[in-house]
A and B are shown apart, each in its own frame.
Chain A
Amino acid sequence: MTWRRRQERWMKVAMMAATSLLIGSFFALLTVLVVKGWQAISWSMVVKLPTGGAYFGGEGGILNAIVGSLLLAVGATSLSLLVALPTALLLQPDYAGRKKFAQFLRSLLDGLWGVPSIVYGACGYALLVALGWRACLLGGLIALAFVELPIMVRAMDEALGIVPKAMKEAAYALAFTRYETMRHVVLRQALPSLVTAVLLAFGRGIGDAASVLFTAGYTDNIPRSLFDPVASLPLTVFFLLNTPFEEGQRRAYAAAFVLLVLVLAVNVLARVITKPLSRYIVR
Chain B
Amino acid sequence: MPRIVVRNLSVYYGSHQALRDVSVEIPDGQITVVLGPSGCGKTTFLRCLNRLIDLTEGAKVTGEVFLDGENILAKDADLLRLRQKVGMLTQKPQVFPMSIYENVAFGAWLKGLRDKKALDELVRQCLQRVHLLEEVRDRLFAPAFQLSVGQQQRLCLARALAVEPEVLLCDEPTSALDPLSAQKVEELFRELKERYTIVLVTHSLRQAKRLADYVLFFYMGELVEHGPAQQVFSEPKEEQTKAFLTGVIG
Contact = CB atoms under 8 A, between A and B. Distances in A.
Interface of A: 93-94, 99, 164-167, 169-177, 180, 184-185, 188-189, 279-283
Contacts of B50: 173
B143 A166 contact: no
B98 A188 contact: yes
Contacts of A188: 96-98
Nearest to B86: A173
The 10 A-B pairs with the shortest beta carbon distances in the complex, nearest first, are A173-B88, A175-B83, A170-B94, A282-B145, A188-B97, A175-B84, A189-B97, A280-B143, A280-B97, A174-B107
A167 B92 CA distance: 10
Interface of B: 50, 52, 55, 57, 79-84, 86-88, 90, 92, 94-99, 106-107, 110-111, 143-145, 156, 159-160, 163, 169
A96 to B, nearest CB: 11
Given A93-B57, A282-B96, A174 B160 contact: yes
Contacts, number: 82
B90 A169 contact: yes
A280 B99 contact: yes
B57 A173 contact: no
A177 B80 contact: yes
A177 B79 CA distance: 9
A167 B94 contact: yes
B130 to A, nearest CB: 15
A167 B96 contact: yes
Contacts of A279: 143
21 contacts: A94-B55, A99-B57, A165-B55, A169-B94, A172-B55, A172-B83, A173-B83, A173-B160, A174-B83, A174-B88, A174-B163, A175-B80, A175-B81, A175-B110, A175-B111, A175-B163, A184-B106, A184-B110, A280-B144, A281-B97, A281-B143
A164 B139 CA distance: 26
Nearest to B98: A280
Contacts of B79: 175
Contacts of B57: 93, 99
B52 A172 contact: yes
B172 to A, nearest CB: 13
Nearest to B84: A175
B90 A166 contact: yes
B54 to A, nearest CB: 9
A250 to B, nearest CB: 49
Contacts of A94: 55
Given A180-B110, A184-B96, 14 more contacts: A99-B57, A164-B94, A166-B90, A167-B96, A171-B96, A173-B52, A173-B87, A173-B88, A174-B87, A176-B110, A184-B98, A188-B98, A189-B96, A279-B143
A100 to B, nearest CB: 12
B94 A166 contact: yes
B114 to A, nearest CB: 15
Contacts of A177: 80
A246 B133 CA distance: 72
A167 B156 CA distance: 11
A282 B145 CA distance: 5
Contacts of A280: 97-99, 143-145
A170 B88 contact: yes
The residue in A167, A169, A174, A189 that gathers the most chain B C-beta atoms within 10 A of its C-beta is A174
A164 B82 CA distance: 23
A170 B86 CA distance: 12
A266 to B, nearest CB: 25
A114 to B, nearest CB: 30
A188 B79 CA distance: 24
A185 B97 contact: yes
B55 A282 contact: no
Interface centre among B81, B83, B97 (most CB of A within 10 A): B97
Contact of A185 (B55, B90, B96): B96
Interface centre among A165, A188, A282 (most CB of B within 10 A): A282
B147 to A, nearest CB: 11
Q: Which of A94, A166, A169, A173 counts the most chain B CB atoms within 10 A? A: A173
Contacts of A189: 96-97
Contacts of B98: 184, 188, 280
Given A166-B94, A175-B80, A282 B110 contact: no
A181 to B, nearest CB: 10
A192 to B, nearest CB: 11
B80 A169 contact: no
